[in-house]
Chains A and B, each alone.
Chain A
Amino acid sequence: MTAMHEADRATAPPPLSGLTVEQKRVAWAWAFLAVPILFYVVIRFWPTLDAFWLSLHAWNLLGERRFIGFENFARLMEDRVFWQVFRNTFLYLIIGTPVSIVLSFLVAYHLDRVRFMHGFIRALYFLPFLTTAAAMAWVWRWFYQPVPIGVINNLIADLGLPQIAFLQSTTNALPAILATAIWHGLGFQVVIFLAGLRAIPETYYEAARVDGVGNGTILTRITLPLLKPTVVFLVVFSSIAFLRIFDQVFNMTTNDPGGPLNSTKPLVLLIYETAFRSYELGYAAAQTVVLFLVLLVISLLQLRLLRDR
């Protein structure tokens, strides 16, 4: 028996040699994929699962976690600030996404026809996207200030008109911050739309023109339908971005974060404050779970509604 084993070992093939070429490729692929998978499990999935578990506890970052069941979620349900923040988050989404998509499409559609300094103009539109969101937020914060330092209000006051309360108003502050966020993402969306427009074969347009079809019909019958994958991508992408808005709000309202009177506070900022200002980690985790579910449901809904039949 022993001798046989030794003989076996002597002629034993190198590892993987019994596999087909296809199987070897799969094995190698898995070998390489194992690294990022392991990384993601440790850095992403494990903390995510831990957050779900943490949401059932009371914990102030010091000492032991105390299991309290669904108490955090019950508290969320009757927390007026949470519902206001929930509403704000959806306002960012339902105003921000359509406005930014329409705006960027209009810019891209017309920019596509401009030959003169096309690259330069496109670069100008893209420039805000390259800027750090925080830096841009502070510049806009300065624009929005009242007299004597605010750029916009100084202009208005010079014309003898009453000042506009931008960030100093519970109704105007959210749109004012949203404008900054839309401006920040516009360049990226324009570039994606331009790529989408360029991908539509020129022959379709030529055929349409030979048939004497008007510009409006070309837009609604050729351009828009063929842009659908681009639109789907941008809707999903920008929806997630608006649901997770933080930088602009935080930096434009640092002395009263998410204010005035919580009128601009998005979910992510509430989570941050609950966790790292009030040190209620369990409650913050419960808020995170809600945000996760909202993001999941909205993304799935959008993919379903907008996917090709």
Chain B
Amino acid sequence: MDELIRGFQAANPGVRVKHVHFPYADYRSKISTAMAAGQAPDIVQLYYGWLGDFQRANILAPLPAAMFPAARIESEFFPMVQAMKREGQYWGLPTAVRSLCVFYNSRLMRAAGLDPARPPATLDEMVEAAKAMTRRDGSGNITQVGIGAGMDGQDQHWWREVLVRQFGGTPYSADGTQVTYTQPEGQAAFAWYMGLYTDHRVTARQFMDEPQAAFRAQRAGMIVDGNFRIGALERTRGLEWVVAPLPAHRNVRSNYGSYWVNGLTRQSSGAKAEAAARFMAFITTPEAMQVWLRVTGELPARSAAANTPENTNSPVYGPFVAGLREAVATDFVDESAQRQIMIDAQNRVLLERQPPEQSLRVAAEAEQRLFGQHRRA
């Protein structure tokens, strides 16, 4: 961000941008107290799932339509960015976006007789590969998992936006008010996912505490994770890995996208608001996105900037960039509560031996109640 600010200030003499970090935990309280005191920043960055809260609290101003026409945003940015459109206007734009892929441990693949150059292309092949890489000790305790899994990690997104759709269902109704994953297709997707634990036994709950820990310790053949994990894996010595797109099922592909978004606050007016909008336009240019990718490893939010030959041919970033096209950003009302509901759905099956179908129904009821509470708020 500091590099972008230097570039902007050089191109716009007379405008000074001050960059302030807030710790994640205090983010909301700082912004709202600053807003109340009239000391709020002109531009804020927020998690896309918080947009509704910030918008209802009257903190954000819509992006000026003359500078950011909706039609151009929709043709130039990845489709998941359309979640930032409310009441016919855009309320924020991201610089960078994220998607999911599968990371495979090449060494474990070779040891199991698999070819890292040809990773599984379908869910069925994925299960077979996971079986080949699972190891047990003499008493049957799992000592190496074929796939590191857990709804407490990225699997909640993989299940919700990818598996449910691949089995022919939808997680929520189009207007986002109804939970629809308990229809037979969603049930089939959940049964398939839980089958990794209970039928194929290629994974274990909280194996080595968390999937990425098991993967980094070379005790997991594969994990589903986001491009934000690349840095940590690159820093892990001795780990050989490849990235592959999420496996298809019945020829359906999907992905989950998430991002932090830049928004303009209602605080500024006149020349200051104009300068803020110009800075906003600057940090969402293709050039700014390239800088961002180079420095942080996060993917460009514009499809043209993401789909450069350099990016799409990269063995590491290529599959993530490809995933952005079909990526859906879940319209969360309370991300952590909705995550907890999926963790509990998984735990009821694994720890209380509840049939997956019943467990998922309980989850859907809880999530529907949550929707009700948030509509009232």
Contacts and interface: CB of A to CB of B under 8 A. Distances in A.
A145 B58 contact: no
Interface stretch (B102-110, B301-309, B321-329, B347-355): B347-355
Interface in A239-287: 255-256, 259-262, 273, 276-279
Nearest to A163: B141
Contacts of A149: 208-209
A162 B139 contact: yes
A250 to B, nearest CB: 13
A62 B347 contact: no
A170 B351 contact: yes
B228 interface: no
Interface of A: 58, 60-63, 141, 145-149, 157, 160, 162-163, 167-170, 255-256, 259-262, 273, 276-279
A148 B142 CA distance: 8
B141 A168 contact: no
A283 to B, nearest CB: 9
Contacts of B59: 62-63
- Smallest CB-CB A-B distances: 10 pairs: A63-B57, A62-B57, A277-B336, A147-B141, A255-B152, A61-B28, A62-B32, A260-B347, A148-B143, A261-B347
B351 A169 contact: yes
Contacts of A277: 336-337
Contacts of B77: none
B39 interface: no
A98 B29 CA distance: 40
B208 A256 contact: no
B210 A261 contact: no
A36 B106 CA distance: 63
Given A62-B57, A149-B209, A170-B351, 16 more contacts: A60-B53, A61-B29, A62-B32, A62-B35, A146-B206, A147-B143, A148-B208, A163-B141, A168-B206, A170-B347, A170-B352, A255-B150, A276-B25, A277-B336, A278-B334, A279-B28
A273 B336 contact: yes
Q: Kindly name the residue among B58, B137, B340, B348 whose own CB sees the greatest number of chain A CB atoms within 10 A.
A: B340
Contacts of B54: 62
Interface in B143-192: 143-144, 150, 152-153
A261 B344 contact: yes
A41 to B, nearest CB: 21
Contacts of B58: 63
Given A145-B209, A157-B137, A278-B336, A256 B142 contact: no
